[in-house]
Structure 1
Amino acid sequence: MQLKRIYEKRTEEDNVRILVDRLWPRGLSKEEVELDVWLKEIGPTNELRRWFRHDQEKFPQFRELYLQELKDDPQKKSAYDQLKKYYEENDGQITLVFSAKEQEYNHVQVLKEKLENTKKH
């Protein structure tokens, strides 16, 4: 599984490119992005996103709150189930695409960890 900013061009290694943000990235057309899937429902709520603001110190709490959202919100749960299906059907060879400048402390890292943990069970 790869994680890439939306501004990075598609490569052969990308396989299935899945945008996992609630909002469409500014200044880009759908043609430029070359996506296969957009799972906008899977992104964190605006409230959680605003509270977190990619603050490294808040990341452990953000992680727990976001995992709870994925579990409790029916739309997020459904979107996660779709993501998991793509992950399994492609033997983990998917690319999660996002627009955040912060690449280490974001919701995509939480999704990656959750997907990789389900594969182990």
Structure 2
Amino acid sequence: MDAITLSRVYDHEPHGEGRCYLVERLWPRGIRHEEVELDSWAKDAAPSHELRMWFGHDPQRWEEFRRRYFAELDTRPQAWQPLVDAAATGEITLLYSSRDREHNNAIALRDYLLERLARQRG
């Protein structure tokens, strides 16, 4: 059984199973690179700088953010396909830095990846 879980990078406790990917365009403030056990920093799978700034973690912009972010992802399969491939073979964790645990790019990306994974399986 595969799964895509989410974890806030500031609270993340590695559990030794599955692969771990940071899905932020910018490295999280106050975190040293050595402090985070990562398989990869998937910054190209994160929203563009312009979209991130427009969204500003405003919950009222959430649905439009998702629509715009998915459109960006549609143009960058090389950024997200490795995540789908990894999820197809086991558990992956997407690390994010947002304080908002309900409206952030990792949630939207997880939904996008799960949809692509389901399509891939037919």
- Which category describes the TM-score, using the shorter chain as reference length? 0.7 to 0.9
* TM-score normalised by L of structure 1: 0.87
8 Å contact kept, 2:80–2:113: no
Aligned to 2:101: 103
Q: Helix, strand or coil: the match of 1:60?
A: helix
Distance verdict in 2 for CA 1:25–1:14, change over 3 Å: farther
Percent of pairs with identical residues: 36
Which structure's residues are more often helix, by fraction?
Answer: 1
* TM-score normalised by L of structure 2: 0.87
Give the paired residue count: 116
CA RMSD of aligned residues (A): 1.5
Deviation at 1:53, TM superposition (A): 0.6
**CA offsets 1:8-32 (integer angstroms, 9 cap, x no match):** 2333265211001011111211211
Give the unaligned 5+ runs of structure 2: none
Q: Helix, strand or coil: the match of 2:71?
A: helix
8 Å contact kept, 1:2–1:14: no
Give the unaligned 5+ runs of structure 1: none
8 Å contact kept, 2:84–2:117: no
